[in-house]
């Protein structure tokens, strides 16, 4: 601000404050001065007096018109507080100032260098004497252009004083922000953004930033350039904000981002997003210091749901799984879908094994609640592999591989979850090698006669005598020795060899039933049917062909199927079961309680027997349910077999609760034919005389 001599001579003639003349006398003397002069009362914003050039400058018809005018209309909003400042300073320091001002004497803006001098009226009121030192013609045009440009630009321009009060806003800004924007702080949706801007302006004179702001059209995104500026009127610092609405652009970007980084089915982040997220977490710096836990989740038996109930049910199930995982993960975790039925969960700042294992338990608990889809209750649990960063790997692929290895073993052992340790990678690669070896060997195993059926006796609770036997497959591997079915049935299922193998079992078991029948033991034989075998269209014809070939009574054959095969309730399921049942074949639902445990199936299909899985006896808590299932089996007219009976106490408990049959190591392990025959001899209630083979 240019300071003038307090006793400056206006037009070389007057000492204003110290003049011994009266106010009127002084003003009369000033009247003929050639430069525009006027006295302004800053409080009332009225002109008290003006000389002739002053009247012309303010474009007044006459003095009384000008004196009646509300000068607020001829000044910018920012000018009014500035005038108060100037009056205060000029009177306090008895000095004059000169500033470049833009005023509006008429319709249009005029830029002029104006001198402000302190002036005391006769009644001692401190007012200002304004002297137009120089009117800027060139600037006038320029300012007109500026005003027009400011009015018509679509860029929202606002100027705020150093107290954050709005000094000026152009039409675009007023239209968008409305009346609510009185201070700079009113503008931001997120209060934390204020701090962001302040920091940016400390570092540099200006900053470009995109933020959410309150507008008359609601919350919008504005792309802004914010710079330190000057209040042209007061000379104080100010903040100039020019902004354009970037909401549409941002929405388009969001759509593009969603396509690239979100799984469209579950709306969870996808594999690409999780990689970026992990990259950030593992980047050198503060975040990576804290570490994180990583869960790799894969749903058990999801394929069966998809295959039997169809993809749309599978999809709904995945959406529900995503929801449950997100709920149980908590706010500081990230859940992503890698694809198919694989999910990943990142638990921020947690590396403690115990805490991570507890979390895995609660995830499993949350997932164990049945999901109701298409009037069916499905229970789908994941197997979870857990590892932590940085302890179990330094790269994303290392961590994923290790969590995957832990998950693989958790699935193989049906343990729910496993925390990774180094031995797992070894056992996994051995497992893979092992599997590949088995896959190769399976091809020739049947033609090399390497399979054998063992039989596990079934005991009647009523007579405590043997009443049947279940055929259980064994593989006598030339180098690996005896391999139990759990190790190769799944492989044979995947490779398709199960069809041929299952057929071999059908023939072998029926032949054995006939041989025992001929030896005087007319005991039914139970045969396990695999999912793929059940799905194949020729199961019924294969069964009947075996019955005919081995002269086997259909009622002496029981086929064991599992719940997952019934999922979908398709025509094929109904037809197959009804045809088998019509032939006289008995049908048992095996491993009841491990799958969906859907009681509706028990009524819907022509089942004869319900086999309660051994897990029920092994698990104290679940054994409580056994009583309920036994009762239910009775009501539905089914024979109930308890599997996995290992102790006399268990047997007594089951008998007391009305179980029909028992099967388990307490009575006998699965036995090769010769030993099974011996067992029958010792434990059969009735042995008929052997039938003459020639007959
Ligand atoms: P499963 O049909 O539920 O057979 C019962 C399993 O429980 C048998 O295992 C049997 O040895 C075991 N087990 C019986 N009593 C006890 C007990 O008291 N305690 C314990 N811990 N286990 C007991 P195995 O022979 O290893 O068979 C496993 C599964 O392999 C069978 O379960 C069945 O699902 C499948 N499997 C066996 N043979 C065949 C076959 O010929 N075809 C098909 N598709 N699957 C078969
Ligand atoms: Mg079975
Ligand atoms: Mg079973």
Q: What is the pLDDT of residue 607?
A: 93
- Residue owning the nearest CA to atom 45 of ligand 1: 528
Ligand 3 centroid vs 459 CA: distance in angstroms? 15
Name the band, by pLDDT with cuts 50, 70 and 90, for residue 8.
very low
Output the pLDDT for position 249.
84
Q: For position 109, what pLDDT does the model report?
A: 73
Find the DSSP H helices in 636-670. Answer: 648-656
In this predicted model, what pLDDT tens digit does every residue of 513-565 receive, in sequence order? 999 999 999 999 999 999 889 988 899 999 999 999 999 999 999 999 998 88
**Position 140 confidence tier, pLDDT thresholds 50, 70, 90:** low
- pLDDT value for 568: 66
Is it the case that residue 104 has pLDDT exceeding 70? yes
Query: Would you say residue 211 has pLDDT above 60?
Result: yes
What per-residue confidence (pLDDT) applies to 19?
41
| Residue 594 Cα to ligand 3 middle (Å) | 9
Between 528 and 151, the more confident residue is 528
Give the count of alpha carbons within 13 A of 293, CB side only.
Answer: 23
User: In terms of C-beta distances under 8 Å and separation of at least 24 residues, what long-range contacts does 107-114 make, across chains too?
Assistant: 108/140, 108/144, 108/147, 109/140, 109/143, 109/144, 109/147, 110/57, 110/135, 110/140, 110/143, 111/135, 111/136, 111/139, 111/140, 111/142, 111/143, 112/57, 112/136
Ligand 1: nearest atom to the Cα of 611? 3
| Phi, psi torsion values for 226, nearest 5 degrees | -115, 125
Find, among 25, 72, 85, the residue nearest to 49 by Cα.
Answer: 25
Q: What is the pLDDT of residue 432?
A: 66
Kindly list the protein residues whose Cβ atom lies closer than 6 A to any atom of ligand 1.
Answer: 456, 472-473, 484-486, 489, 502, 505, 528, 530, 560, 590-591, 614, 643-646, 663-665, 670
CA distance 118 to 480: 111
Distance 559 CA to ligand 2 centre (A): 9
Q: Are 216 and 205 in contact (CB under 8 A)?
A: no
Atom of ligand 1 nearest to the CA of 530: 44
pLDDT of res. 14: 34
More confident residue, 425 or 455: 455
Query: What would the mean pLDDT of 54-78 be, rounded to a whole number?
Result: 89
What percent of the chain clears pLDDT 70, i.e. is strictly above it? 89
Give residue 584's pLDDT.
96
Nearest CA to ligand 1 atom 33: 528
Cα–Cα distance measured from residue 439 to residue 427, given in angstroms and rounded to the nearest whole number: 18
Q: Please give the number of the atom of ligand 1 that sits closest to the Cα of 505.
A: 41
pLDDT in tens, 566-594: 876 678 899 999 999 999 999 999 988 76
CA 472 – ligand 1 centroid, Å = 6
Average pLDDT score over residue span 427-455: 84
Over range 402-427, report the average pLDDT.
Answer: 84
**Lowest mean per-residue pLDDT among 84-93, 200-209, 660-669:** 200-209
CA of 384 to the centre of ligand 2 (A): 27
Q: What is the distance between the alpha carbons of residues 492 and 215, in angstroms, rounded to a whole number?
A: 66
In the structure, what pLDDT confidence band is assigned to residue 433 with cuts at 50, 70 and 90? low
pLDDT band at 13 (very low <50, low <70, confident <90, very high): very low
Residue 598, pLDDT > 90, answer no
pLDDT exceeds 90 at position 66: yes
Average pLDDT, the chain: 85
Per-residue 3-state assignment (H helix, E strand, C coil) for 256-317: HHHHHHECCCCCCECHHHHHHHHHHHHCCCHHHHHCEEEEEEEECCHHHHHHHHCHHHHHHH
Query: Distance of CA 168 to CAs 74, 82, 98, 112, 328, Å?
Result: 15, 13, 22, 19, 51
Alpha-carbon Rg of the chain, whole angstroms?
46
Residue nearest to atom 19 of ligand 1 (CA): 644
**pLDDT at residue 633, rounded to an integer:** 85
How many alpha carbons lie under 13 Å from residue 465 in its C-beta half-sphere? 12
Average pLDDT over residues 683-693: 73
CA of 529 to the centre of ligand 2 (A): 8
* Position 233 confidence tier, pLDDT thresholds 50, 70, 90: low
Those residues whose C-beta lies under 8 Å from the C-beta of residue 629, and which sit 6 or more positions away, are 592, 593, 610, 612, 616, 640
Q: What is the mean pLDDT of residues 672-694?
A: 82
Q: What is the mean pLDDT of residues 485-514?
A: 93
Mean pLDDT of 134-139: 68
Query: Percentage of residues in the chain with pLDDT exceeding 90?
Result: 47
Question: Is the confidence at residue 197, as pLDDT, over 50?
Answer: yes
Residue nearest to atom 7 of ligand 1 (CA): 644
Instruction: Tell me the DSSP string of 94-144.
Output: T-EEEEEEEE-SSSS-EEEEEEEEEEE-TT--EEEEEEEEEE-HHHHHHHH
Indicate the top mutation candidate among 472, 504, 535, 560 to test ligand 1's pocket, ranked by most ligand atoms within 8 A of CB: 472
Report pLDDT for 326. 93
Least trusted range by pLDDT, from 59-73, 224-238, 449-463, 495-509: 224-238
pLDDT at residue 75, rounded to an integer = 83
pLDDT at 70 over 90: yes
- Report whether pLDDT(332) > 70: yes
Q: Is pLDDT at 460 greater than 80 in this prediction?
A: yes
Q: Could you tell me the pLDDT band of residue 507, with boundaries at 50, 70 and 90?
A: very high
User: Residue 26: what pLDDT?
Assistant: 72
Supply the residue whose CA is at minimum distance from atom 11 of ligand 1: 670
pLDDT digits (tens, 9 = 90+) for 466-495: 999 999 999 999 988 999 998 899 889 888
Give 557 Cα–ligand 3 centroid separation in angstroms.
Answer: 16
**Best of 643, 661, 664 for a ligand 1 pocket test (most atoms within 8 Å of beta carbon):** 643
Give 661-672 pLDDT, tens digit per residue: 999 999 999 999
Q: How far apart are CA 313 and CA 354, in angstroms?
A: 35
* Ligand 1 pocket mutation, candidates 471, 474, 485, criterion most atoms within 8 A of CB: 485
| pLDDT mean over 386-409 | 91
Answer yes or no: is pLDDT of 307 > 80.
Answer: no
**Does 148 score more than 70 pLDDT?**
no
- Residue 16, pLDDT > 70, answer no
Lowest mean pLDDT among 115-129, 244-258, 396-410, 674-688: 244-258
pLDDT, residue 673, reads: 97
Ligand 3 centroid from CA 643, angstroms? 6
Residues 25-57: pLDDT tens digits? 777 777 778 889 999 999 999 999 999 999 999
């Amino acid at each position: 601000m240019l300071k003038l001599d307090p006793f400056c001579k206006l037009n070389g003639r007057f000492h204003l404050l110290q003049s011994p003349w009266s106010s009127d006398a002084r003003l009369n003397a000033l009247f003929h001065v050639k430069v525009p002069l006027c006295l302004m009362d800053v409080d009332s914003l009225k002109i008290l007096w003006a000389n002739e050039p002053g009247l012309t400058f303010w474009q007044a018809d006459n003095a009384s018109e000008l004196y009646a005018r509300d000068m607020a209309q001829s000044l910018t909003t920012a000018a009014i507080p500035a005038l108060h400042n100037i009056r205060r300073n000029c009177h306090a320091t008895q000095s004059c100032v000169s500033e470049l001002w833009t005023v509006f004497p008429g319709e249009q803006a005029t830029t002029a260098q104006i001198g402000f001098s302190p002036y005391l009226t006769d009644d001692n009121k401190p007012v200002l004497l304004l002297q137009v030192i120089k009117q800027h013609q060139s600037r006038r045009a320029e300012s007109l252009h500026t005003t027009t440009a400011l009015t018509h630009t679509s860029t929202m321009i606002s100027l705020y004083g150093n107290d954050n009060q709005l000094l000026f806003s152009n039409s675009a800004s007023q239209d968008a922000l409305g009346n609510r924007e009185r201070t700079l702080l009113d503008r931001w949706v997120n209060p934390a953004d204020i701090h962001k801007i302040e920091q940016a302006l400390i570092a540099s004179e200006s900053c470009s930033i995109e933020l959410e702001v309150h507008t008359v059209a609601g919350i919008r995104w504005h792309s802004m350039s914010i710079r330190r500026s000057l209040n042209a009127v007061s000379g104080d610092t100010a903040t100039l904000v020019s902004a354009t609405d970037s909401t549409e652009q941002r929405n388009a970007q969001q759509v593009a981002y969603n396509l690239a980084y979100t799984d469209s089915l579950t709306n969870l982040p996808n594999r690409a997003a999780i990689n970026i997220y992990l990259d950030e977490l593992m980047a050198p710096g503060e975040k990576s210091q804290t570490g994180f836990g990583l869960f790799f989740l894969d749903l058990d038996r999801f394929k069966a749901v998809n295959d039997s109930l169809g993809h749309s049910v599978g999809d709904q199930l995945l959406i529900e799984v995503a929801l449950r995982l997100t709920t149980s993960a908590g706010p500081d975790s990230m859940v992503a879908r890698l694809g198919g039925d694989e999910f990943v969960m990142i638990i921020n700042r947690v590396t403690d094994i115990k805490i991570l294992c507890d979390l895995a338990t609660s995830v499993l608990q949350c997932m164990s609640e049945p999901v109701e889809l298409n009037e069916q209750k499905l229970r789908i649990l994941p197997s979870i592999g857990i590892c932590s960063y940085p302890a179990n790997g330094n790269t994303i692929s290392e961590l994923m591989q290790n969590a995957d290895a832990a998950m693989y073993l958790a699935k193989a052992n049906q343990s729910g979850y496993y925390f990774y340790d180094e031995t797992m990678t070894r056992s996994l690669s051995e497992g893979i090698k092992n599997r590949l070896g088995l896959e190769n060997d399976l091809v020739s195993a049947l033609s090399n006669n390497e399979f054998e059926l063992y039989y596990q006796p079934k005991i009647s609770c009523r007579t405590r005598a043997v009443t049947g036997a279940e055929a259980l497959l064994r593989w006598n591997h030339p180098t690996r020795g005896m391999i139990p079915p759990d190790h190769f049935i799944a492989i044979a299922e995947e490779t398709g060899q199960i069809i041929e193998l299952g057929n071999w079992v059908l023939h072998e078991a029926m032949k054995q039933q006939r041989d025992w029948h001929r030896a005087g033991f007319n005991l039914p034989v139970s045969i396990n049917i695999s999912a793929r075998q059940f799905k194949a269209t020729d199961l019924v014809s294969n069964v009947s062909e075996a019955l005919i070939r081995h002269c086997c009574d259909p009622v002496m054959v029981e086929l064991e199927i599992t719940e997952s095969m019934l999922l979908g309730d398709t025509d094929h399921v109904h037809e197959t079961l009804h045809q088998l049942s019509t032939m006289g074949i008995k049908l048992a639902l095996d491993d009841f309680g491990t799958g969906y445990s859907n009681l509706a199936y028990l009524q819907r299909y022509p089942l004869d027997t319900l086999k309660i899985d051994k897990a029920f006896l092994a698990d104290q808590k679940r054994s409580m349910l056994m009583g309920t299932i036994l009762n239910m089996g009775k009501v539905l007219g089914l024979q109930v077999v308890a599997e996995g009976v290992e102790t006399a106490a268990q047997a007594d408990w089951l008998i007391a609760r009305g179980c029909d049959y028992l099967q388990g190591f307490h009575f006998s392990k699965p036995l090769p034919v010769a030993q099974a025959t011996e067992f029958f001899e010792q434990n059969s209630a009735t042995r008929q005389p052997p039938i003459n083979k020639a007959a």
